[in-house]
Chains A and B, each alone.
Chain A
Amino acid sequence: MGRFLLKRFFQTILILIIISILAFSLIHIIPGDPVYAMLGTDISPEYHDQVYHSMGLDLPLVKQYFRWVGNFVQGQMGYSYHFKEDVSTLVARRLPPTLILGILSAVVSVILGLLFGIITAVRRGKPIDSVLTVLANIGIATPIFWLAVLLVFVFSLRLKLLPSWGFTFPWVDFGRSMKQMVMPVLCMSVGGIASYTRQTRSSMLEVIGQDYIRTARSKGLKESQIIKKHAVKNALIPILTLIGLTLRNSIGGSAIIERAFNISGMGSVMVEALSARDYVALQSGIVFLALITCVCNLLVDIAYAYADPRIRLE
């Protein structure tokens, strides 16, 4: 177990190094001069040279990389000419809302998805299975932006129950925060709930057909105990892999939701930075996304090893 985790930890570090190299090269891969690309061509040559020098672009590549990494680790991610502030303060301001929404929607989709999946598997062929399975298929097919518009139309414009935009931290104003988050979290988790329902259903059905479930039945256990104690833990193992992807997807894909509900989060930073060719912000954003993904994957691996003794004991 310890060796397994150590191995996975080193692999994670390796992946982060590779991604940081890729993110770093971004600025050098694009055609043309990065400073002109960022600031436009109508700046004075003196200003260009000043920025060029301040970004360290005149240093040798290897040195530049290490300087960039060193600064990054210390929290200095450079100055974004587009957002007109330090990237570190930008990220500190814009990442938390995205993280909160992402984690919340991941939790919601996992819990509801597993629950629906288990119900549909246990009640296979019954009306509730058909209803939930149809809903899950609809959920997978529903475009998020359309759902967002629909929800705003119904709950904000017609029923006037929920605010249509904005984000407040729960510790600032809990009630308002919750009201504002209901619709974004719902939109972000619909796809997850739907796909978890389907995955859990098929995984559960497979497990229920296994010999050890027959063994458990032959011992005289109650069906509910068999599901709880013998089936669910086995069925979760393949689902765990998906959970790692969910958080990354909801953070990576948060741009649409942030735009729809007018939330200033990390997703919109990335989109804006990309269209404004703000490589400094973009580089840091990529590394943050990679970091979150890697941490999620590492957590999943730990959970995996915990859930499956066959891996733990290897």
Chain B
Amino acid sequence: MSEHLLDVKHLQTVFHMGDGLVRAVDDATFHVDEGEIIGIVGESGSGKSVTMMSILKLIAMPPGEIVGGEAIFQGRDILKYGPTSEEIREIRGGGISMIFQEPMTSLNPVLTVGQQIMESIMLHLKMNKADARKRTIELLGQVGIPDAESRIDYYPTQFSGGMRQRVMIAMAMSCDPKILIADEATTALDVTTQEQILELLRDIVKKTNTALIIITHNLSIIARYAERIYVMYAGNIVERGTSEELFVTPAHPYTMGLLRAIPRLDSDKSRRLVSIDGTPPNPAKKTGRCPFYERCIYKEERCDINELPEYIEYSETQASACRFRREELLAKAPPEAKEANRRSIGKEPVLQLKGLSKYYPVTQGIARRKVGDVKALDDVDLTIYQGETVGLVGESGCGKTTLAKTVLRLHPATGGEIIFRGEDITNLPERKLNSIRRDVQFIFQDPYGSLDPRQTAGSVVGEAIKTHKLAKDKADYERRIDELFRAVGLDPALKNRAPHEFSGGQRQRLCIAAALASEPKFIICDEPISALDVSIQAQIINLLIDLQAERGLTYLFIAHDLSVVRHISDRIAVMYLGKVVEISPWDRLYENPMHPYTRALLSAIPIPDPVVEKARKRTRIEGEVPSLINRPSGCVFHPRCPYATERCSKEVPPLKDYNGHEAACFRIGEI
């Protein structure tokens, strides 16, 4: 008998793929006790989801196969049960339930949320329909869905992402499970919503004494919520420990590397991020060697043997799968955080936006009669100087991407002016835009979707050289492409490969190379790292910073991640529902956020350090970003603002200058 609620030992899962065996999980050993919150952190492909799905037999079998290990839940080894057996089905939902990443696709679109929750209750708790319905309404109320009695008959499409995730929580909690697994449950959500959902999860599991397993790639979330942590890398748990232990005295080189690689809200930004070089090993070509060997900066000859390292135990809770003790690692020269490249910011504005607006008409009926406007951008003023990086932050739907596209003239502005290097380009005819297009380039969020799959890497990068006729001849063209490849840290020998042969980080490097090809002055980066793994993000940020210093580039850096924006930006603009609500030099924004929305955004972001995290004072806001169609009157933030007054709902606060720190709020002096 095991004394833990769930005790997983040496779980091993493989997938039989056409071209061989993919060892998704090599050796996963972990446990969770009643009422405990544990975190499993790892990059994509590290096997964290597969581990959980294996326990519930939810992986597709075939091609998947659980080849070893045991999972003792309430005294029984549940790995022994068949994937469709009575026993495992009883545990799924009844004993262990899961919340998945994508709230948009994880609920069945053709059934009401009530039907979906009720079927679970009727199945496991053997209730009749009326009782199940009553319980469902109660549950929906508990997870914070207003007006649950009528909302129970709504379809998933009628809920926002955050609300759907609440429905998922209600569904998962509906049959009083012993363990709740949240598999990247908040990754797809906005930061303020993410915070609300995680707080809700914590409250619920603490109230019901349910164990919670948080699976995520986000170290900061883990630091704020988990009591114990397992770090997974390439199918192995490389380190385990309490969150204090892992964040204060990490013992595995990978954990150490991750902590150095992520920008933090409280980190020193004059130094470069120390990235973990390389990429995780291909699980189809894995050897028995230490999985981190290729990327480890501490490796020695004795690590290069075909055997996994034994765990070294540091305390009852902490252990690390590395051949070196923590002290030995620290005694080796730690990677120096290099001084960040210095650069100067000019006085000359590169881009000026004056009262820029972009409205989309709302039409109704067959005749498409215009009944109103969606104000995606409303009267935005912004100036970006030569050599500067301006960060633009805000949650989804606040108009960041619309701003970028309008500046690029990908769609026409409704009002205002776009002045690029002294020239008004707002209404410049298409044929004259060519030179502007050469000077202004764009890096998109998704390096998978933004590269033409039918071109070679070289021709993707070289397209702009051809378009703008920058090369003298064929040899010059090839030379320029090689140069661009080297500039972004790619081997020019790879230029004849297709984009799909590159990894995510390499693809983003290709996108950057393509953007640099026309020798631009100004680059708009729209969430350039949010689709990448944590250990790769630092590589790309460093690359962008280096290129800026070398080439005197000016960046408009759009992101929802305030820690990344803080690291890279000189000034930061915060947007909410199409309006800039605050704009200031980076240090002042973080030291003294003026606008209540900025404060809430900042406090929603956890700092990956449980000690600092516990001491923080936080401003929390309720609700979600409203739809632009139902734009609030007055100050757009007033319905969610804890400080709102009568006046805020009637008048629009203007952006006021407080010694170079501008904010749009009536109550700045008082709050």
Q: Indicate, yes or no, whether A interacts with B.
A: yes
Residues on A facing B (Cβ under 8 Å): 7, 10, 210-212, 214-223, 225, 229-230, 233-234, 237, 307-310, 313
Report chain B residues within 8 Å CB of A225.
Answer: 119
Report chain A residues within 8 Å CB of B108.
Answer: 212, 215-216, 230, 234
Give the docked Cα–Cα distance between A221 and B90 (Å): 9
Contact B89 A221 (CB under 8 A): yes
Contact A219 B123 (CB under 8 A): yes
Which of B6-14, B95-103, B289-297, B305-313 participates in binding chain A? Answer: B95-103
Q: Please give the distance in Å from A214's CB to the nearest CB on chain B.
A: 6
Is B596 an interface residue when CB atoms closer than 8 A count as contact?
no
Q: How many residues of B contact A (CB 8 A)?
A: 32
Mark interface residues in B140-168 (1 if CB within 8 Å of A CB, else 0): 00000000000000010110000000001
Interface residues of B in 187-211 (CB under 8 A from A): none
Given A7-B366, A212-B108: A229 and B119 interface contact (C-beta under 8 Å) = yes
Give the docked Cα–Cα distance between A7 and B94 (Å): 46
Among A10, A210, A219, A237, which residue has its beta carbon within 8 angstroms of that of B119? Answer: A219
Contact A212 B105 (CB under 8 A): yes
Contact A308 B110 (CB under 8 A): yes
> Known contacts A214-B58, A308-B109, A309-B109; can you find 11 more A-B pairs with CB under 8 A?
A211-B100, A212-B108, A215-B100, A217-B92, A218-B92, A219-B120, A221-B93, A221-B123, A230-B108, A237-B110, A310-B157
Can you list 29 A-B contacts (CB < 8 A)? A210-B105, A211-B100, A212-B105, A212-B106, A212-B107, A214-B58, A215-B168, A218-B56, A218-B92, A218-B93, A218-B97, A218-B98, A219-B97, A220-B88, A220-B89, A220-B92, A220-B124, A221-B119, A221-B120, A222-B84, A225-B119, A230-B111, A233-B111, A234-B109, A234-B110, A309-B110, A309-B112, A309-B157, A310-B155
**CB closest residue in chain B, given A6:** B366
Interface residues of B in 57-101 (CB under 8 A from A): 58, 84, 88-94, 97-98, 100
Among A7, A211, A221, which residue has its beta carbon within 8 angstroms of that of B106? Answer: A211
Contact B105 A218 (CB under 8 A): no
Q: Please give the distance in Å from B605's CB to the nearest CB on chain A.
A: 27
Contact B155 A313 (CB under 8 A): yes
Q: Please give the distance in Å from A313's CB to the nearest CB on chain B.
A: 6
The total of interchain contacts (Cβ-Cβ below 8 angstroms) comes to 82
Q: Please give the distance in Å from B409's CB to the nearest CB on chain A.
A: 32
Contact B58 A218 (CB under 8 A): yes
Give the docked Cα–Cα distance between A308 and B123 (Å): 25
Report chain B residues within 8 Å CB of A309.
Answer: 109-110, 112, 155, 157
Give the docked Cα–Cα distance between A230 and B110 (Å): 8
Give the docked Cα–Cα distance between A225 and B110 (Å): 15
Q: Please give the distance in Å from B97's CB to the nearest CB on chain A.
A: 7
> Considering residues B58, B88, B107, B108, which has the most beta carbons from chain A within 10 angstroms of its beta carbon?
B108
> Considering residues B84, B88, B106, B171, which has the most beta carbons from chain A within 10 angstroms of its beta carbon?
B106
Contact A219 B111 (CB under 8 A): no
Contact A313 B105 (CB under 8 A): no
> Considering residues A229, A309, A313, which has the most beta carbons from chain B within 10 angstroms of its beta carbon?
A309
